[in-house]
Amino acid sequence: MNQKISACSSAVNFIAVLCFAISMLLGLDDSSYFFSMFIAFSFVAMTCGYAYFAETDVKLAGFVSVAFSAIYAAIILLVYFAQLTTVRFNHLTQQAAALLDFQQCGLLFNYDLLGYGVMSLAAFFAGLTIKPQAKTEQWLKYLLMVHGVFFISCFTVPMLDVFKADHPKWIGIAVLEFWCLYFCPISILSFLHFSNCRE
């Protein structure tokens, strides 16, 4: 059962990332918010899989990964649930919209970047749990650990006030599409990794 949960969560993660990428390309904001929540749900289960199957000497890295993934999921779910409920159904004042509307690059937009920064840390520590036995596992470990570099930009960019609501929308979409292209192989390789794990 543990193997199946881990493998299935990787498959769900891949589908969610793919649907998120398509939604962004089609300009379907509400759809992209919805699938982002499923990226979070499945990522938490994935990191739990890494922690569970980790060997004793790297168990702590797995636990750290789970802790960071839980923080990431909590932030992301609050951000996107707010977009699909409060922001979507209420006529917000200009000041409230500046804070809550993701498209206006305010408070919740900054929290979103913080969330993905924490996700990067979770991915890094998940990578530390892997002791490669095959080429695919070496790539998985490499991709997870390099993903940790995203923490730097996600953490510092909001403090530097780089993103503005009046910036061309295609820039943000391009960045997110790049992330999707990077993360899809992680989901696929995670599925293969968990499929080969033995309890």
Distance CA 36, CA 189 (A): 20
- Go through 114-139 and write b for each residue having 16 or more CB atoms within 10 A of its CB, e for each that does not: bbbbbbbbbbbbbbbbbeeeeeebee
- Mean pLDDT, the chain, rounded, equals 92
pLDDT digits (tens, 9 = 90+) for 116-145: 999 999 999 999 999 998 899 999 999 999
Closest CA to 29 of 69, 80, 97, 91: 80
Which range of residues forms the domain containing residue 42?
2-195
Rg of the Cα atoms in the chain = 17
Chunked into runs of 10 residues, the chain (199 residues) has average pLDDT values of 94 97 94 97 97 95 98 97 92 85 88 95 97 92 95 88 71 89 96 87
Please report the DSSP string for 110-158 in residue order.
HHHHHHHHHHHHHHHHHHHT---SSHHHHHHHHHHHHHTTHHHHHHHHH
> What is the pTM assigned to this prediction?
0.91
Give yes or no for a contact between 142 and 182, defined as CB atoms under 8 angstroms apart. Answer: no
Query: How does DSSP classify residue 181?
Result: H
- Look at residue 24 in the predicted model and tell me its pLDDT: 93
Give yes or no for a contact between 145 and 128, defined as CB atoms under 8 angstroms apart. Answer: yes
- Look at residue 166 in the predicted model and tell me its pLDDT: 65
Q: How many domains does the chain have?
A: 1
Phi/psi region, residue 54 (left: phi>0; alpha: psi -120 to 50; beta: rest), is beta
Distance CA 126, CA 5 (A): 16
